[in-house]
Chain A
Amino acid sequence: NAGVTQTPKFQVLKTGQSMTLQCAQDMNHNSMYWYRQDPGMGLRLIYYSASEGTTDKGEVPNGYNVSRLNKREFSLRLESAAPSQTSVYFCASSEAGDGELFFGEGSRLTVL
């Protein structure tokens, strides 16, 4: 049982390049989330999807787009990467969206 799987685990981009972070969960959870965590900081919510077919902005949505492709998958896209987006990105899922989150291992992104 894989839980929450994120790809890629590491990525280096140049300023202005685009990329998509992929997330898939196999727990049949309804809600999915994307967070970013900067060094020494807590988690900041970028976007979330309460259920298949819906997405909502979190605390720091600027510069990102998301797609809830189906119940299993929730992707995060950076259209034009900036150095300020250098961070560790965590995807999480929740059965009921009640705060019990299961996290992926994280994706470390560096933008030069």
Chain B
Amino acid sequence: QKEVEQNSGPLSVPEGAIASLNCTYSDRGSQSFFWYRQYSGKSPELIMFIYSNGDKEDGRFTAQLNKASQYVSLLIRDSQPSDSATYLCAPRGSSASKIIFGSGTRLSIRP
């Protein structure tokens, strides 16, 4: 089993709708979780992190963490064409500094 699993997509969402991206992980020692966004041909950039169970909101973005079920989600409200990108999940595992990414979910926002 891969350490981090994501649906590769593509996920197509109409403009203005909510996009929901999910990530599951196998290391129960993972304490914090990061969401990166990567535009085509560019390097990834950090957009959200969460380290406790529940929700964390930042503008149109909400990260949800459920440690018991070992999954983390990213919700994007009022989706915009500029949100079209690949979203990568990265749990910080119990092995300090070793950062493993999921395969990423490609999101496409259609006008």
Contact = CB atoms under 8 A, between A and B. Distances in A.
Interface stretch (A15-23, A61-69, A71-79, A102-110): A102-110
Contact of A58 (B33, B36, B43, B98): B98
Nearest to A31: B97
B76 interface: no
Contact of A97 (B45, B49, B96, B102): B96
Interface in B25-70: 32-34, 36, 42-46, 49
B90 interface: yes
Interface in A74-112: 90, 94, 97-101, 103-106
B101 interface: yes
Contacts of B86: 42
Contacts of A50: 96-97
A99 B33 CA distance: 8
Contacts of A98: 32, 92, 97
B17 interface: no
Contacts of A40: 8, 106
Interface string B65-108: 00000000000000000000010101110001111111110100
A41 interface: yes
B22 interface: no
Bin the interface of chain B by size. Answer: 20 to 34
Interface residues of A, number: 25
A55 B98 CA distance: 11
Contacts of A101: 34, 36, 44, 46, 90, 99
Contacts of A58: 98, 100
Interface of A: 31, 33, 35, 40-45, 48, 50, 56, 58-59, 90, 94, 97-101, 103-106
25 contacts: A31-B97, A40-B106, A42-B6, A42-B102, A42-B103, A42-B104, A43-B88, A45-B101, A48-B97, A58-B100, A59-B100, A90-B44, A97-B97, A98-B32, A98-B92, A98-B97, A99-B34, A99-B90, A99-B91, A99-B92, A100-B34, A100-B46, A101-B36, A103-B43, A103-B45
